[in-house]
Chain A
Amino acid sequence: AQSVTQLDSQVPVFEEAPVELRCNYSSSVSVYLFWYVQYPNQGLQLLLKYLSGSTLVKGINGFEAEFNKSQTSFHLRKPSVHISDTAEYFCAVRNSGGYQKVTFGIGTKLQVIP
């Protein structure tokens, strides 16, 4: 079975500062990795995904993430955050091949301070 660990429950950061949200996963097989964002009272929106190929993936809203197989990590980064980035961010993992359920981390609340 796969699992996801998000090490930080809350991350405060000043506007225009860089941010990194950490994610580590565990799985015995090859995986696909995702980051989703959730704004208050809304569902989850896909930010970016790693399926194969380049380990650096770029997503919407200026976010990017790097897949590191040796460290089983998929950290999310943004070089300069905006107030509108205040939301909860979920890392998710899915084993490759056929039907597989998606397993989510507990989320990291990003609070951008003006």
Chain B
Amino acid sequence: GAGVSQSPRYKVAKRGQDVALRCDPISGHVSLFWYQQALGQGPEFLTYFQNEAQLDKSGLPSDRFFAERPEGSVSTLKIQRTQQEDSAVYLCASSLEDRSNSPLHFGNGTRLTVT
């Protein structure tokens, strides 16, 4: 069975450009998370979806960051007017259930470099 798929794997953007990062979770997984991993750091929580509902967006660093999951499966993380500090690996994870004991399954991430 397919795991969590993220695209593109690498993205280079000039400062000020908008970017869109895609996540295909494991089929049937209710929960979907986005994390940001800066170089040499652990993943930092950005936002959480339960099906199509965005229940927690407390980790989004600014209003330039926007995420959606309109049909409860594929999710897109959009960053407007990218800045150099946005350079990081963006990880998507899904889990089968909306419970704390349901483990997360991670994609390989999208490495964003803002020049």
Contact = CB atoms under 8 A, between A and B. Distances in A.
Interface stretch (A63-71, A74-82, A103-111): A103-111
B82 interface: no
5 contacts: A42-B108, A43-B4, A44-B91, A102-B104, A104-B35
A99 B43 contact: no
Given A44-B43, A44-B91, A90-B43, A99 B48 contact: yes
B101 A104 contact: no
A98 interface: yes
A32 B100 contact: yes
B107 interface: yes
Given A99-B48, A101-B45, A106-B42, A41 B100 contact: no
Nearest to B47: A101
Interface in A29-56: 32, 34, 36, 41-46, 49, 51
A21 to B, nearest CB: 13
Interface residues on B, range: 20 to 34
A49 B99 CA distance: 14
A90 B104 CA distance: 13
Interface of A: 4, 6, 32, 34, 36, 41-46, 49, 51, 90, 94-107
Given A42-B108, A43-B108, A44-B106, A97 B100 contact: yes
Given A43-B91, A103-B45, A104-B43, A98 B100 contact: yes
Contact of A105 (B6, B42, B111): B42
Interface string B77-100: 000000000000001010000111
Contact of B103 (A34, A95, A100): A34
Contact of B55 (A90, A97, A99): A99
B33 A101 contact: yes
A94 to B, nearest CB: 5
B31 interface: yes
Scoring B35, B101, B105 by chain A CB atoms within 10 A of each residue's CB, the highest score goes to B101
Given A101-B45, A106-B41, A107-B42, A51 B55 contact: no
